[in-house]
Amino acid sequence: MASVNKSNKAKHIFVTGGVTSSLGKGIISASLGKLLQARGYSVTIQKFDPYINIDPGTLNPYEHGECYVTDDGAETDLDLGHYERFLNITTSQDNNITTGRIYNNVITKERRGDYQGKTVQVIPHITDEIKFNFFKMDQSGEYDIIITEIGGCVGDIESLPFIEAVRQAKLDLGPSNFLSIHLTLIPFLSAAKELKTKPTQHSVKQLLEAGIQPDILVCRTEKPLPLEIRKKLALFCNVQLNSVIEAMDADSIYDVPLLMRKEKLAERVLSKLKLPKSEPDLDEWKAFLGKLKNPTEEVEIGLVGKYVELPDAYKSIIESFIHAGAENECRVKIRWISSESITPLVVKDLLEGLSGILVAPGFGERGIDGKITAIQYVRENKIPFFGICLGMQCAVTEFARNVLKMPHADSTEFNPQTADPVIYLMNDQKDITNIGGTMRLGAYPCKLQKGSKVQAIYGRQNISERHRHRYEFNNQYLDEFINAGMKTSGINPDSNLVEIIELEDHPWFIGVQFHPELKSTAQSPHPLFQKFVEATLKFKKHSYKKEVINL
């Protein structure tokens, strides 16, 4: 049986959700984490997802949004991105566990004979494995408080073992080390002009049936919760009146920590966990919000991608633009452009009025020609360009076709037989067939070339960035690219792989093989996004001047 670490010093907060999914447990958890961190507590957040996939790496972004990659190469749920962006911390594989991973661990142990012939069951074997993972991060001794978000809704068949493990965790930890927060919805019926508490009462009842009494109710609502409603919720759900917390819809997710501060969420948590309450230091957060809310400029940037109907697929990119925009005191408006809609005939119209474009990461052939057409247009017209992963690979292909005059240049991902495989699969990756097995995942070092634009942007020479891709720049073509003006300004010092390309005779044309968007946080915006937004602002001012001169 897995051993459950009971001698931990971390206190545990479990966040469950009821009534419906998508209530924003991730943002509430991240906001609570921020408020506790602002009082000097060392906090981390972990997410337990009830689906059977071992990790979200193979999930379709249409169904699940972006796959967030951590430094240690874990492909995780996009909520981990919120945890990192709010808390300015790094997370790892240990912060995201799925049902699939739990069962995989238990089955591996069973096959190995660890259970010594015992019948392997949901209780205790699966629940013990879940609890082992609940408490795994205690072992480092690094955290005062660990917040655990349970994905899905109370009452879902899939969530049952997790909820049961939470019930047991309370017994293992003891009351002042355990806290249960239930996030629920208080719908407003416009016909009756009333906020309704019944769905919450039902959802709390379901939690109670599973043996968990919520200590705090966080109520998502579009209207303020009047005292009467709070009293009713407190009475029927058996929580203290001051533990009914209103979570009003906010303009921006970054407002939520301050909204939760007004409602005294962290105070309630700290008194229930018997921890000292000091005044939080939220100065930096407020400074960020101040800049975010009071932009003096606005730019419009085109985001060229395959999944433009579902912005969650590009969550981290959107958030990085918000951070970088705030830093530049500039509102970044995103124009979503489906790569499939771009042809040489319409490219000018589609990109009209934009101050820059970002070509997004992606897998598969759809829309590649559109991306290449857009890149040719911005390269030739000196419009700021930022290519991420597939976006960089397309920039390399475009340059090969149109500048190096290799009309058939391609990535072998799209044309395995191409005469000029400028982007290719390296030999040692070819035989691996397990999906995900061939991917370069997680943090890799990169050395920036002296005197390059990227070195000036980062202000240093050695960086580390996160990757998630299979294909690479083909170094056989290196000299031809360099001689024609495409600098390979970031190189992996161990493998010599090209990680960054930039153009010399262009104001801002940078492609990166890694995903800088995964490392941008509210309090430390990523330098590449920051400077890209700055370049688009310059471009906008410059083109405005040109227009005025031409009048």
Per the CB < 8 A criterion, the answer to whether 122 and 161 are in contact is: yes
| Strand 178-185 versus strand 145-150 pairing type | unpaired
CA distance 524 to 514: 18
| Nearest distance from C-beta of residue 66 to ligand GLN, angstroms | 10
- Could you tell me how far CA 172 lies from the centroid of its own chain? 32
User: Pairing state of beta strands 462-469 and 385-388?
Assistant: unpaired
Supply the minimum distance, in Å, between the C-beta of residue 214 and ligand GLN: 40
Footprint on residues 181-240 left by ligand GLN (CB under 6 A) = none
Of the residues 219, 237, 389, 446, only one is catalytic, namely 389
Closest approach, Cβ 443 to ligand GLN, in A, equals 15
446, 515, 526, 534: the catalytic one is 515
Residue 470 in contact with residue 439, Cβ under 8 Å? yes
DSSP structure class, residue 469:
E
Q: Residue 420, SS3?
A: coil
Interface pick for ligand GLN out of 50, 56, 362, 490 (rule CB under 6 A): 362
**Binding segment toward ligand GLN, per CB under 6 A, in 8-16, 355-363, 502-510, 521-529:** 355-363
> Nearer to ligand GLN by C-beta: 183 or 394?
394
Nearer to ligand GLN, 222 or 365 (CB): 365
Active-site hit among 469, 517, 526, 534: 517
Catalytic: 300? no
CB closer to ligand GLN out of 26 and 362: 362
Identify which of 175, 202, 198, 341 has the alpha carbon closest to the alpha carbon of residue 274.
175
CA distance 177 to 135: 12
Three-state DSSP class for 146?
strand
Minimum Å distance from CB 496 to ligand GLN?
A: 17
- The answer to whether 526 is a known catalytic residue is no
Stretch of 103-111, 176-184, 325-333, 359-367 contacting ligand GLN, by CB under 6 A: 359-367
* Helix (H) or strand (E) segment spanning residue 36: helix 25-37
Q: Does residue 517 carry a catalytic annotation?
A: yes
Interatomic CA distance for residues 171 and 291, integer angstroms: 45
Query: In whole angstroms, what is the distance from residue 301 CA to residue 399 CA?
Result: 22
Q: How many residues bind ligand GLN (CB under 6 A)?
A: 10
Residue 361 sits in the site that holds ligand GLN (CB under 6 A): yes
CA angle 54–306–378, rounded 5-degree value: 135
Question: Residue 119 or 417: which CB sits closer to ligand GLN?
Answer: 417
Report the alpha-carbon distance of residue 358 to residue 367 in Å, rounded: 14
Shortest distance, position 82 Cβ to ligand GLN, whole Å: 20
Nearer to ligand GLN by C-beta: 293 or 430?
430
Do 94 and 140 form a contact (C-beta atoms < 8 A)?
A: no
Question: What is the rounded CA–CA span in Å between residue 249 and residue 243?
Answer: 19
CB-nearer residue toward ligand GLN: 135 or 471? 471
Closest CB to ligand GLN among residues 183, 372: 372
Contact pattern from residue 379 through residue 398 relative to ligand GLN, giving x for each residue in contact according to CB under 6 A and a dash for the rest: ----------xx--------
Provide the angle, in degrees to the nearest 10, between the axes of the packed helices 527-550 and 315-327: 70
Cis preceding-peptide flag for 124 (omega within 30 of 0): yes
Query: From the CB of residue 333, how many other CB atoms can be counted at a distance below 10 Å?
Result: 13
User: Nearest distance from residue 163's CB to ligand GLN, in Å?
Assistant: 35
Q: Based on the number of CB atoms within 10 Å of its own CB, is 144 exposed (0-12), middle (13-18) or buried (19 or more)? A: middle
By the 8 A CB rule, do 508 and 385 touch? yes
Residue 361 or 384 having the CB closest to ligand GLN: 361
Q: How far is the CB of 230 from ligand GLN (least distance, A)?
A: 46
Options 43-51, 55-63, 81-89, 360-368: segment touching ligand GLN (CB under 6 A): 360-368
Q: Evaluate whether 418 touches 412 at the Cβ level (below 8 Å).
A: yes
Site string for ligand GLN, 454-493 (x = CB under 6 A): --------------xxxx----------------------
Nearer to ligand GLN, 243 or 397 (CB): 397
Per CB under 6 A, which region of 84-92, 324-332, 358-366, 458-466 contacts ligand GLN? Answer: 358-366
In whole angstroms, what is the distance from residue 71 CA to residue 93 CA? 9
Dihedral angle over CA of 249, 254, 259, 260, nearest 10: 110
How is residue 400 written in tokens? Answer: 């090969």
Smallest separation, CB 55 to ligand GLN (Å): 15
CB of 439 to ligand GLN, least distance (A): 7
Active site residues: 389, 515, 517
Residue ranges that bind ligand GLN, judged by CB under 6 A = 361-363, 389-390, 413, 468-471
